[in-house]
Structure 1
Amino acid sequence: MDRNRCPRCGWPLAELPAAASQPVTRRLDYVRCVCGSWLARWDGEVVGATRSAP
C-alpha cells in the first residue's frame, strides 16, 4: 500500500484540502478522500481506511 495515497482510489493525500492544511507531527488524524473513504493517518502516512480497494 502506498501510504501517501488513498488505498481505495489512489488519490494523492497531498491533494486533499483537509490533508494539505493541517501540520503533521506525531499525531493520528482522519481525512475524507474524494472517493468517500475515511483515511486514518499516523504522522501523515495512511495506516487505515474505511473501505478496501476494489
Structure 2
Amino acid sequence: MNLHRCPRCGWPLTELPVTAARPVTHRLDYVRCVCGSWLARLDGEVVGATRARLTRP
C-alpha cells in the first residue's frame, strides 16, 4: 500500500486541497479524498480509510 495515496482510488494526497484536512492532533488528521473516502493520516502517512478499495474487473 502506498502511504501517500488514497487506498481506495489511488489519488495522490499531495493533490488534495488543503481544506480537505481536518486536524485532530499535531500527529493525526483526517482527509476527505476526491472519491469520498475519509482517510486517517498519522504523521502524514495513511493508516486507515472509511471505504474498501475499489475492485476492477
TM-score under structure 1 normalisation? 0.83
Q: Aligned-pair RMSD on alpha carbons?
A: 1.7
Higher helix proportion (structure 1 or 2): 1
Say which structure, 1 or 2, has more relative contact order (CA 8 Å, 6+ apart). Answer: 1
Count of aligned positions: 49
Unaligned 5+ residue runs, structure 2?
none
TM-score under structure 2 normalisation? 0.79
Unaligned 5+ residue runs, structure 1?
none
Spell out the pairing of 1:30-45 with structure 2 (5 A cutoff). 30-45=30-45
Counting aligned pairs with the same residue, the percent is: 76
